[in-house]
Amino acid sequence: MPQMSPLMWFSLFILFSITLILFNQINFFSFKPSFISKTKSESINKKNLNWKW
């Protein structure tokens, strides 16, 4: 089995690194976040407790 030259290893590393970075960016930017509407947050009942020590 012939040995690969260091330049070939470096180009292979660059290729896989670029592929990994592109794959992560595509996954990151492909999802659109769903924002919570104000009607849901207003429907939550908050109880204010007055503590008397």
Is residue 20 within a helix (H) or strand (E), and if so which, with residue range?
helix 6-30
pTM of the model: 0.53
pLDDT tens, 6-44?
889 999 999 999 999 999 999 998 888 777 665 554 556
What's the token pair of residue 6?
Answer: 């260091």
Q: Give the separation between CA 15 and CA 36, rounded to whole angstroms.
A: 40
Spans of all domains in the chain:
7-43
pLDDT of 14 reads 97
